[in-house]
Chain A
Amino acid sequence: MAHIALATGFILILIGLYGALTNRNILRMIVSFTVADTGVNLVIVAVGYLRGRTAPILDATLPAAEAAARIIDPVPQALVLTAIVIGVGITALMLAYAYKLHETKGSLDIADYRELKW
């Protein structure tokens, strides 16, 4: 299972990277970025997965004494939780800038923005 998730994550990163590099529309570049973001999260969670174990939440079916033998690694999950929240923050920022760019120049095509090109 971990291998499937790892492979999917890697493929998603590659697809997102390809989309971000080849699309000319700024909004589509941001969409590709979020696809790659999902892929990275998937890879990190997959690394923490251990075969045949269960979620790190104790309840009636998982007493505290057995926890160490039956749970998967909780640290990558905590990391990814943070990564997702920060990811949406970054996306919101990029979208706000895209809106502002559209407002000033009326276009979302990256080829129309040549001020920083040399």
Chain B
Amino acid sequence: MVDWLIYLAASLAGVAFLLALARFIKGPKATDRVVAFDVLTIISITGIVLVALAEGRAIYLDVALVYALLSFLGVIVIARYLERGF
């Protein structure tokens, strides 16, 4: 029962990932792609947590923490670049 719920959750996340990927490839503007990048990385954090759950290893969660930090910094860097902030 729980396994099936997890499968359902994983497939929903997968569809969301595909939708965001479509927005990333389509564009049309740079800012749209940055939003898509943000959403893709947030969904990937869910993916990392799902992998940790499937493998049953708590140590994988450290990677999720670092990943969250890096995706945040990436968006800030690009936003500051776009508004010519550095």
Residues of A that sit less than 8 Å from B by CB: 54-55, 57, 59, 61-62
B79 → chain A, closest Cβ, in Å?
Answer: 20
CA distance A57 to B60 in the complex (A): 10
CA distance A55 to B55 in the complex (A): 9
**Closest chain A residue, CB of each to CB of B55:** A54
CA distance A81 to B59 in the complex (A): 18
Interface residues on B, range: under 10
Of B58, B59, B60, chain A has the most CB atoms within 10 Å of the CB of: B59
CA distance A57 to B57 in the complex (A): 10
With contacts defined as CB atoms under 8 Å apart, how many contacts are there between chain A and chain B in the complex?
14
Chain A residues whose CB sits within 8 angstroms of the CB of B28 once the complex forms: none
**Closest chain B residue, CB of each to CB of A58:** B59
**Once the chains bind, are B55 and A59 in contact (CB under 8 Å)?**
no
CA distance A60 to B13 in the complex (A): 30
CA distance A57 to B62 in the complex (A): 13
Chain A residues whose CB sits within 8 angstroms of the CB of B55 once the complex forms: 54-55
Chain A residues whose CB sits within 8 angstroms of the CB of B57 once the complex forms: 54-55, 57, 59, 61-62
Chain B residues whose CB sits within 8 angstroms of the CB of A54 once the complex forms: 55, 57
A3 → chain B, closest Cβ, in Å?
Answer: 19
Chain B residues whose CB sits within 8 angstroms of the CB of A59 once the complex forms: 57-59
Contact with A along B45-86 (1 / 0, CB 8 A): 000000000011111100000000000000000000000000
CA distance A62 to B57 in the complex (A): 9
CA distance A38 to B45 in the complex (A): 20
CA distance A54 to B59 in the complex (A): 12
Chain A residues whose CB sits within 8 angstroms of the CB of B58 once the complex forms: 59
Chain A residues whose CB sits within 8 angstroms of the CB of B60 once the complex forms: 55
B86 → chain A, closest Cβ, in Å?
Answer: 14
B74 → chain A, closest Cβ, in Å?
Answer: 14
CA distance A61 to B53 in the complex (A): 13
CA distance A57 to B58 in the complex (A): 11
